């Protein structure tokens, strides 16, 4: 049990360190990732206004068929990219939220790049 607590605490410490350095603007929002065991959520956030500009997850109807696997995460990244493009946003900063830039998180970033968002 101690390992689980330490792992969560370490991630939150990394998250705080990352958030000190990153901030989203209306022209270049912050794309943040949250992973649970069953779902993955991605948001584009304007920190100046404190508003979410776009979001995507595998909870949505068109993505519900896919499981919470790396192969399905790229489509979530593409979906957030398309929604940002529709709002005429072409660049963003990527907030990995304390997770390693590997696997699902990397696939989401690659999907957003494939949609034309500069990260």
Q: What is the DSSP letter of 91?
A: B
Q: In DSSP terms, which residues pair with 34 in a beta bridge?
A: 41
* 40-46 sheet: strands from edge to edge: 51-57, 40-46, 30-35, 93-95
The structure's pTM equals 0.88
Domains of the chain are 2-114 (3.30.420.100)
Angle, CA 54 vertex, CA 49 and CA 55 arms, to 5°: 125
Q: Over the range 93-105, which residues count as b (16 or more CB within 10 Å of their CB) and which as e?
A: bbbbbbbeeeebb
The span from the CA of 92 to the CA of 82, in Å, is 13
Per-residue pLDDT of the chain (119 residues; tens, 9 = 90+): 677 678 889 989 999 988 888 888 889 999 999 998 888 999 999 999 999 999 999 888 876 666 778 888 999 999 999 999 999 999 999 999 999 999 999 999 999 999 999 98
């Amino acid at each position: 049990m101690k390992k689980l607590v330490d792992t969560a605490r370490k991630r939150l410490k990394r998250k705080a360190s990352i958030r000190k350095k990153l901030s989203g603007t209306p022209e270049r929002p912050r794309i943040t990732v949250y992973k649970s065991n069953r779902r993955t959520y991605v948001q584009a956030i304007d920190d100046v206004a404190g508003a979410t500009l776009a979001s995507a997850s595998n909870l949505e109807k068109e993505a519900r068929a896919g499981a919470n696997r790396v192969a399905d995460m790229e489509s979530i990244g593409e979906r957030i990219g398309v929604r940002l493009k529709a709002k005429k946003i072409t660049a963003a900063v990527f907030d990995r939220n304390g997770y390693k830039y590997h696997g699902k998180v990397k696939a989401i970033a690659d999907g957003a790049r494939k949609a034309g968002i500069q990260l």
